[in-house]
Amino acid sequence: MIDRSRFRLVASAAVLLAAFSSCGGDKGGKKEITIFHAGSLSVPLKLIAADFMKENPGVGVLLEAAGSRASARKITDLGRRCDVFASADYSIIDEMLIPAHAAWNIRFAANEMAIVMRDGSARQGEIASDNWFMILLEEDVAFGRSDPDSDPCGYRAIMTMKLAEDHYGIEGLAGRLLAKDTRHVRPKETDLLALLESGTIDYIFLYRSVAKQHGLPYVELPDEVNLGNPALDDYYSRAQVAISGDAPGSVVVKSGESMGYGVTIPLGAPEPEIAMAFVKFLLDESKGMKIMSECGQPSVVPSPSATYDMIPAGLRRFAAPPAKDERKGMQ
C-alpha cells in the first residue's frame, strides 16, 4: 500500500524544489536533472525522486508533468532539453523522439483503464462493470476524459469506448459517449481530478493506478475493454483513433494495444550521467519498480525493445532483444 503521509511530505518537497528552481535561485552547488513525465506518473515519480535524492545527496530532481504527447512536443517543437523522458505510452518515444531526439526506449510499467468516481457521484450505488456505459449516458451524470491529441489516456479512453461497443454488442455506443460532455475534455488525465473533487463531474475515464493512488472508488472494466491484457493485443488493435500528427493538419492513426510505459534519456541531456543513474534507480526491482508496483503500475521489466542495440550497456539488462521478425523489419 502507498504510505499517504509520506507522499504528502514528498509532494510538498517536490513543489518547493520546483518553485526554487524556476526562480533561478542558488542551488547550493547541487547538480539537478529535469524529468518530463506523464501526469499518471506524478505520484510514483515523486516518491522515487525522493529516495533517489536520499541516495544521491548532491543531486536535485525537478519533475515536470504533462500529457505525454505534450511533453514530447516540448522537446521536438520548443527545443527544450530534459534529462529523462517518461511516457505513459512507450510508442510516443518511438514515433515522436527517435531518431532525431532520442536513440532508445525501454518499457517499464503496465496499467489499465477504469471508470473512476468520487464518494457521492451520481448513480454511484448502481454503476457496475456491466452497465457503466448506460449510467454515463444519463442526462444527470457528467463525465470527463483527457485530450487525445495531448495525452495517451485521451486516445485510450476513446479506444475503451470502441471496445465497449464491440464487447457489449451495442451499435453506436462509442459515438454516443464521444458526443456527450465534450466540455469536460482536459489536456491531461490528472487535470480532471479537480473537476471530480469539486463535483463538476461524476466520473472520469482514467487509469486504475491513479484511482488507487488517490484513494478513489472505481469500476473495474473487463479485460476485453480495459487495454490491460497483453494476450488480447490482436483484439485491442481493432480500436483505432485518429489524432494530430507532427506536421500542421496531419493525422496519425493509433491502434489499440495493452498499455506500456516507456522511458529514455533524450539526446543532448544536460546531465547524462545523473540521468543514467536515475533510470537505473527507476528500473531496479528493489527500488523504483517496487514503488511503481505499490502505486498500481506493475513492472514489465524486462520487455522487448526494437531499439535494444542502441540502449546503453549499463541499462541493457532492463530490456530484451526484439523478436526475430521485428529485427528483420528494422534492417
**Which residue range forms the structural domain that includes residue 148?**
113-255
CATH number at residue 82: 3.40.190.10
* Residues 134 and 237 placed together within one structural domain of the fold: yes
* Residues 211 and 304 placed together within one structural domain of the fold: no
* Residues 236 and 121 placed together within one structural domain of the fold: yes
* Residues 81 and 214 placed together within one structural domain of the fold: no
d(CA 31, CA 36) in angstroms, rounded, equals 17
- pLDDT at 129 (0 to 100): 97
- pLDDT at 25 (0 to 100): 35
- pLDDT at 10 (0 to 100): 46
- pLDDT at 6 (0 to 100): 53
- Helix runs in the chain, H state only: 4-22, 42-55, 68-76, 90-92, 132-136, 152-168, 173-179, 192-198, 208-213, 223-226, 233-236, 272-283, 288-294, 324-330
Contact (CB, 8 A) for 324 and 308: no
* Residues 216 and 299 placed together within one structural domain of the fold: no
What is the number of structural domains in the chain? 2
* Residues 118 and 104 placed together within one structural domain of the fold: no
Q: Which of 232, 255, 278 is the C-terminal boundary of a domain?
A: 255
From first to last of its 331 residues, what are the pLDDT tens digits of the chain? 455 555 444 444 444 344 334 333 345 578 999 999 999 999 999 999 999 999 999 999 999 999 999 999 999 999 999 999 999 999 999 999 999 999 999 999 999 999 999 999 999 999 999 999 999 999 999 999 999 999 999 999 999 999 999 999 999 999 999 999 999 999 987 789 999 999 999 999 999 999 999 999 999 999 999 999 999 999 999 999 999 987 788 899 999 999 999 999 999 999 999 999 999 999 999 999 999 999 999 999 999 999 999 999 999 999 999 987 555 444 4
What is the pTM (predicted TM-score) of this model? 0.88
Q: Which of 255, 270, 302 is the C-terminal boundary of a domain?
A: 255
* Residues 227 and 213 placed together within one structural domain of the fold: yes
* Residues 196 and 151 placed together within one structural domain of the fold: yes
* Residues 93 and 117 placed together within one structural domain of the fold: no
Question: Residue 210: helix, strand or coil by DSSP?
Answer: helix
- pLDDT at 279 (0 to 100): 98
* Residues 118 and 90 placed together within one structural domain of the fold: no
* Residues 155 and 210 placed together within one structural domain of the fold: yes
Q: Which of 255, 275, 293 is the C-terminal boundary of a domain?
A: 255
* Residues 175 and 60 placed together within one structural domain of the fold: no
